[in-house]
Amino acid sequence: MDTTVDLDTFSSLVERPDEGARRAAEERWKQLAMPNGGLGQLQELGAWLASVQGSSPTRPLSAAKVLLFAGDHGVASLGVSALDARGGTADRVRAVLDGTAPIAVLARRYGAGVRVVDVAVDTDPAEFPEEVVRHRVRRGSGRIDVEDALTAEEAARAFHAGAAVADEEADAGTDLVVLGDLGVGATTVAAVLVGALCGTDAAAVTGRGSGIDDRVWMVKCATVRDALRRARPVLGDQLGLLAATGGADFAAITGFLLQAAVRKLPVVLDGVVSAACALVAQRVAFRSPEWWRAGAGTGEPAQAKAYDRLTLTPLQELGVTMGEGVGAVLALPLLQAASDTLAEPAAVPSATPLKPRPPAKLPTAAELLGRY
């Protein structure tokens, strides 16, 4: 496999959403029989959907997908999480696959599909279906306070895997991705990435994650501090940063976010993990955040700092902290309502539809990065 990744390619290929479609959507809202701004946040969401779809009226969201990247982290062995470091991630993957996890229940309720991508779960790959493990890079990631999470080759493979998943979803007709994660210790890793990229100290980005007490928070904070010392020398190399103090799931999510933006596939971010990866992706392609929305605030300080840097505002503040895409999927009905209201042809009989532009041939990850 070619382990080189030309990140500059993404910066040149990620375009801004269609501003003409956004303006047409805003005009369409004005023609509805309602007070000016009467639908509040739904109007902004509808205009955003029009711009990312390149069409006004919008197309109703009919093929949303909850996408969960799964991986274990070496720092979990330090006891930085209230969850079981040995087998906890695998158990969460099984709960999603058997349909009992909250995210599986909510996705069914809102008509979204669910897909789990195991890139670094520390268990025998034979325990999961082939479609779950076929992008796996390794079992777990290194303990980032004392060693690299990944080799450079593994970071490239994980990045390629995430970009390939974006192509698979775009080619399958997915029209919106709800992006989540499954991984014990992942909020510690996310805090390191956000702290490094925002130039803050450990205490400013270390949160309670899985519901830890003060003693465990102090251990977590010290772990983040030590990992930050290892992150700062590689800040100028985004893939190097993910290898040193990220993980296979973080590299894959970053690759996914960038290629999704290339393929014009809109994404709803969930917790601090996807926020941290979005911050890394923004450093690669500054236009990419325009293709994302923040689903929900979790109370994690690192997430708040990342969203501030990305100029994203969470659609909801419900106090959901469990990750797994739960907070983000709760925003799906809002987006569905916005698209349906704006798409309804009878709502604005006098409006002239904006003809969608013919789809351009967008480069796949294989064309950008080489097959792996």
Write down the pLDDT at residue 213. 87
Domain assignment of residue 358, yes or no: no
- Identify whether residues 138 and 286 lie together within a single domain: yes
Is pLDDT larger for residue 371 or for residue 119? 119
- Where do we find the tokens 């496999």? 1
Percentage above 90 pLDDT, the chain: 74
- Identify whether residues 219 and 123 lie together within a single domain: yes
* Residue pair 37/43 in contact by the 8 Å Cβ criterion: yes
- Identify whether residues 52 and 71 lie together within a single domain: no
- Identify whether residues 78 and 173 lie together within a single domain: yes
* Residue pair 5/322 in contact by the 8 Å Cβ criterion: no
Domain assignment of residue 355, yes or no: no
Write down the pLDDT at residue 350. 45
Q: What are phi and psi of 117, to 5 degrees?
A: -120, 110
What average pLDDT does this structure show over 171-190?
A: 95
Q: What are phi and psi of 292, to 5 degrees?
A: -120, 155
| Tokens representing residue 37 in the block | 């701004």
297: Cβ–Cβ under 8 A, 6 or more apart, which residues?
303, 304, 307, 314, 316, 317, 327
Write down the pLDDT at residue 360. 66
| Active site residue ranges | 324
Write down the pLDDT at residue 365. 72
Domain assignment of residue 2, yes or no: no
d(CA 3, CA 150): 13
Task: Give 304-344 pLDDT, tens digit per residue.
Answer: 999 999 999 999 988 888 888 999 999 999 999 999 988 86
Task: Give 208-230 pLDDT, tens digit per residue.
Answer: 887 888 898 999 999 999 999 99
Is pLDDT larger for residue 361 or for residue 161? 161
Domain assignment of residue 352, yes or no: no
Residue 122 CB-density burial (10 A; 0-12 exposed, 13-18 middle, 19+ buried)? buried
Write down the pLDDT at residue 86. 81
SS3 123: coil
Q: What is the CATH number of the domain that holds 150?
A: 3.40.50.10210
The conformation of residue 299, written as its DSSP 8-state character, comes to: S
Task: Give 2-35 pLDDT, tens digit per residue.
Answer: 556 888 889 889 999 999 999 999 888 888 767 7
- Identify whether residues 94 and 202 lie together within a single domain: yes
Q: What is the CATH number of the domain that holds 19?
A: 1.10.1610.10
Domain assignment of residue 25, yes or no: yes
**174 bridge partner residues:** none
Most confident of the ranges 34-38, 54-58, 231-235? 231-235
- Identify whether residues 16 and 118 lie together within a single domain: no
Write down the pLDDT at residue 13. 92
d(CA 361, CA 146): 44
Confidence band, pLDDT 50/70/90 cuts, at residue 38: confident
- Identify whether residues 13 and 136 lie together within a single domain: no
Q: How many domains does the chain have?
A: 2
Q: For residue 169, give its domain range.
A: 64-336
* Residue pair 57/28 in contact by the 8 Å Cβ criterion: yes
- Identify whether residues 188 and 309 lie together within a single domain: yes
* Residue pair 112/100 in contact by the 8 Å Cβ criterion: no
- Identify whether residues 119 and 49 lie together within a single domain: no
Question: Residue 274 is inside which H or E element, if any?
Answer: helix 272-284
SS3 258: helix
pLDDT at 283 over 90: yes
- Identify whether residues 119 and 255 lie together within a single domain: yes
Percentage above 70 pLDDT, the chain: 93
- Identify whether residues 38 and 179 lie together within a single domain: no
SS3 261: helix
Cβ–Cβ contacts within 10 Å for residue 13, how many?
Answer: 17
- Identify whether residues 198 and 248 lie together within a single domain: yes
Question: Residue 91 is inside which H or E element, if any?
Answer: helix 88-97
Nearest partner of 296 among 273, 313, 277, 276, judged by Cα: 313
